[in-house]
Amino acid sequence: MAQHQDNRYHQIKRVLEIHHKKVIKDFSRKHAPLLKKTASKGVSLAGAAVIFSSLLAGAASSDISGTKQPIRSEKKEGSEDERKDINLILKSGNLLTVEKENEIANKLSKNFDLKLSSTLDGNRLNEVYGFIGAEQHLYRWPGDTLSNHDLQRAGIAPLKGAFGYFDNAEQEKYYVAVQLHELPDWNSKWSTLKPWYRYRKVFVYNPDNGKAVVAVIGDSGPSKFTGKTFGGSPEIMEYLQRVDGAQKGKVVILFIEDPDNKVALGPVITNDNLALTR
Amino acid sequence: MKFLFEEIANIEYLNLEFSKLEIEETELDHLNHLAKSIIHHKTLDLILDELPDDCREEFLVILSEDEDHQTVLDYLKKSIKDFEVKLIEKVKEIELELMAEIKGEGTA
């Protein structure tokens, strides 16, 4: 009986997820010009974010929130030229100087209309540019199971993340792991640093395709011996088109200045990459 | 947090169907969320189709600022003839469509 019920649940869930994905796709295609036009006029989208989430989610997700969310970023201008400039800086030497980090942060800030920096409140990551590996899902709350997540092929880690359970599903969906244990003052100041880094909003950028995601720091890792600097949730890796293993690639991670919590988690859609979802 | 359509219509058939399942609360929430999000987007599509061209942008602005849906509902009642009737009919139509899909999957 229990097995039958479980099968029935998964049957219904599959039907609804397929239907949902199609509805979002159709809606996004049909109304994209109107939604883009409204967003470009600087209308506060907090209450209407559920509509825009359809537009912005693309095909990466079937989990469209029905609740009010913060505003997503709209691009201003010239992303392709900026991307080439940023790539030149990133590939100009082995180590990024603070000046180069600032230059990259300024260009990305302008391009994505966000306030980005490599240092915030005196804190900085051990690296801002490095290889990213694929992480598994993490338990969001007590009783959570893999079957409640999208992208289930990624699996779920046996233990909670470094900060315990998440505050909400969006945080787990868009989380990164950073090497907190490699911070020079981590051992002496972890009790004050840990709350500062807990679910801290960051900007994750793939310089090879110009795609970007707003995420939270949701875990600590990976170990340095892996050759990787960051870890990305299944949703982040899928959206950024980054893979693990021999074909692994690099990302830039910067802090986001968002004192009023207005920047939403998830893909940062620009006028250029929005066109890709049509 | 309610979806806009829930201010006027409910989804009793789907609720009844989901209630037959012996599943955890999080699983029930997930099914409800998927079903409501489908209906929400389809009813928004209806609204945008029904509104005059020059009202669509204004509707989005009002929706973005309206905390409890009252202003936006007043606006829609004023701008779309028989708005409530059309919305209820649309919700029922989508609900029956989803029910047919769910039942079809169950007997396949």
Cβ within 8 Å of A, B 11-70: 17-18, 21-24, 26-27, 30-31, 33-38, 40-42, 44-45, 48, 56-57, 60-61, 63-67
Nearest-Cα distance to chain A for B6, in Å, is 12
Residue A218 has pLDDT above 90, yes or no: yes
Residue A278 has pLDDT above 70, yes or no: no
Range from A4-13, A39-48, B68-77 carrying the lowest mean pLDDT: A39-48
B4, B37, B50, B58: best mutation site toward chain A, by most A Cβ within 10 Å? Answer: B37
Cross-chain residue pair A20–B45, CB shorter than 8 Å: no
Q: pLDDT digit string (tens) for A74-98?
A: 433 346 777 788 888 887 766 788 8
Domain that holds residue B75: 4-107
From B55, which residue of chain A is nearest by alpha-carbon distance? A34
A96, HSE (Cβ side, Cα atoms, 13 Å): 22
Task: Indicate the burial class of B68 (C-beta count within 10 angstroms; 0-12, 13-18, 19 or more).
Answer: exposed
| Spatial separation of the C-alpha atoms in residues A57 and A274, rounded to whole Å | 10
| Spatial separation of the C-alpha atoms in residues A266 and A72, rounded to whole Å | 8
> What are the φ/ψ torsions at residue B36 (nearest 5 degrees)?
-65, -35
User: pLDDT value at position A60?
Assistant: 27
* pTM confidence score: 0.55
Res. A4 pLDDT band, cuts 50 70 90: low
Closest CA to A134 of A266, A21, A251: A251
Q: Which residues of B touch A9 (CB under 8 A)?
A: 21, 23, 27, 31
Q: What average pLDDT does range A186-203 have in this prediction?
A: 91
Q: pLDDT digit string (tens) for B51-105?
A: 998 999 888 878 767 767 889 999 999 999 999 999 999 999 999 999 999 988 5
Q: Which residues of A touch B40 (CB under 8 A)?
A: 50, 66
Q: pLDDT digit string (tens) for A229-242?
A: 999 999 999 999 99
What are the tokens at B28?
């029930």
Mean pLDDT, rounded, of chain A: 79
Closest CA to B28 of B40, B39, B42, B14: B14
Q: What average pLDDT does range A53-68 have in this prediction?
A: 33
Residue A131 has pLDDT above 50, yes or no: yes
User: pLDDT value at position A262?
Assistant: 85
Contact B38, B90 (CB under 8 A): no
In chain A, the domains with their CATH numbers are 2-57 (no CATH), 79-277 (2.40.40.10)
Write the single-letter amino acid at A28: S
Q: According to DSSP H, which parts of chain A are helical?
A: 2-40, 49-57, 79-90, 98-112, 169-173, 186-197, 234-240, 271-274
Query: How many structural domains comprise chain B?
Result: 1
> What are the φ/ψ torsions at residue A176 (nearest 5 degrees)?
-125, 155
Q: pLDDT digit string (tens) for A172-182?
A: 999 999 999 99
Q: pLDDT digit string (tens) for A101-127?
A: 999 999 999 888 899 999 999 999 999
User: pLDDT value at position A237?
Assistant: 96
User: pLDDT value at position A89?
Assistant: 81
Cross-chain residue pair B38–A19, CB shorter than 8 Å: yes
CA dihedral for B44, B46, B51, B53, sign (positive or negative): positive
Give how far Cα B101 sits from Cα of A19, A174, B21, B94, Å.
Answer: 9, 31, 17, 11
User: pLDDT value at position A255?
Assistant: 97
Write the single-letter amino acid at A170: E
